[in-house]
Structure 1
Amino acid sequence: METINERVLEILRKTGALLDGHFILSSGLHSPNYVQCAKVFEYPKYGEQIGELIARKILDAGLGVDVVVGPALGGVIVAYEVGKKLNTRAIFTEREDSVMKLRRGFEIHEGERVLIVEDVVTTGKSTLEVVEVVESYGGQIVGFASIINRSGKENPFEEINQKLKGKPYFYLVKFDFPTYKPEDCPLCKSGIPAVKPGSRKMNTR
């Protein structure tokens, strides 16, 4: 029987989401590899399958969820698909003047159980910004989930923030791609042009 890991890898390859090159990640780190999850959601049937696989992990863990929250832009569709499968509300945060917040009339009610969902987790910075938003509304964070874990850790959130210790993190596939600080990047030193994903056409592998 095909495993979840094998199924997700198949989807990533079919949709051309696995990229090779020289990329500047949203964290500011550089990497020779990138997963462009937006390519997955170009095909609604695959996006729905991804949402179902994440939701299944949440249900199997017996986690009660009232609302799924994802940061724009990468977390918007995956949060929607997970929320659909969990039969919950699905909303997203976005930055305004560089500050992560809820807009567009979205609210989190006091005591609501919140699952924070991302497409890819590397440093966890965006997710931690969402944590602050959720807590400011009095929401109760019950866990985290993403399609890809490229943090190098099983649960980066509890290591970064001790308040999150014990909050589970679910992911579908883990990649240990190398990352470099700009000043240490061998790709830069080799003169390979760096690309911010989405800025121009990139070669898929």
Structure 2
Amino acid sequence: MTDEDVLAEFRAAGALLEGHFILSSGRHSANYLQCARVLMNAERAGKLARAMVQKLPRDLRNDIEVVVSPAMGGVIIGHEVGRALGVDALFLERPTGSFEFRRGFAVKPGQKVLMVEDVVTTGLSSRQAMEAVIADGGVIVAEAALVDRSAGEADLGVPFYPLVSINFPVYEEGSIPPELAAIPTTKPGSRK
């Protein structure tokens, strides 16, 4: 899939939003990709996951033993990537603020893990999720994501394979342009 093909899927799902959004990173943006909407159709989710897997080098695909995703945003795409790879897909939760495995999920010591996210903006959630996997004994071999919003700035410490890179401008609280500041804010992500 080309970048335009991916964006066409977001547009078809009504998942490419415009307004004034507060991202989970705390930064502000005039654009938001609502991955939950693009993934609500199982056929579309599977198609995007297969395209993500095709972006991974073949030798890496063969090494992956399990997919792990942070809840909430990564659960659906992580599951579909696991299906495309033919491996189990687990997810992490943060009931008390820190990521942890629950529901009987665990990685085996030394198990090779592909971390899968919906959107990476700063990479903070990914790094926190990776810490939980490593603490449980897993070995993170790479991360894949539907969207890289970091403008290539996210340092995840492992090879990173986004399906598409989108460089919508983002702003810190003190540097929001007046035309964006005039629009009421919305916080559409899974973290409040």
Does the CA-based 8 Å contact 1:70-1:93 persist in structure 2?
yes
Identity %: 42
Is the CA contact (8 Å cut-off) linking 1:24 and 1:31 kept in structure 2?
yes
**1:68 equivalent in structure 2:** 67
Specify the alignment match of 1:106 in structure 2: 105
The count of corresponding residues between Structure 1 and Structure 2 is 189
Residue of structure 1 equivalent to 2:47: 49
Change in Cα spacing, 1:80 to 1:113, as seen in structure 2 (3 Å) is same
**1:133 pairs with 2:118:** no
Q: What's the CA shift for 1:9?
A: 1.5
Give every structure 1 segment of 4 or more consecutive aligned residues whose post-TM-superposition deviation is greater than 6 Å.
none
Deviations 1:26-76 (A, max 9, x none): 011111111001111121110010111111222535331011011111100
Moved more, 61-70 or 113-122: 61-70
- What is the deviation of 1:198? 5.8
Say if 1:181 and 1:41 are closer, same or farther in 2 by CA, change over 3 A: same
Counterpart-to-counterpart distance in 2, 1:41 and 1:150: 18
Q: What code does the residue aligned with 1:54 have?
A: M
Conserved in 2, the CA contact under 8 Å of 1:4 and 1:53?
no
Task: Give me the whole-angstrom Cα distance separating, in 1, the residues matched to 2:173 and 2:109.
Answer: 42
What is aligned with 1:171?
A: 162
RMSD: 1.8
Amino acid paired to 1:124: G
Match of 2:184 in 1: 193
Indicate the SS of the match to 1:99. coil
Change in 2 beyond 3 A, CA 1:198/1:137? closer
| 2:39 alignment partner, SS class | helix
Matched to 1:133, the amino acid is A
SS at 1:93's partner residue?
Answer: strand
CA distance, structure 2, for counterparts of residue 21 and residue 141 of structure 1: 36
Aligned twin of 2:171: 180
**What's the TM-score once normalised by structure 2's chain length?**
0.92
Partner of 1:7: 5
| Alignment of 1:156 onto 2:154 | yes
Alpha-carbon deviations, 1:150-186, whole Å to 9, x = none?
Answer: 1011x6225xxxxx2xx31111111111111112212
Q: Using the alignment, how far apart are the partners of 2:155 and 2:133 within structure 1?
A: 15
Return 62-71 or 84-93, whichever deviates more: 62-71
Amino acid across the alignment from 1:52: R
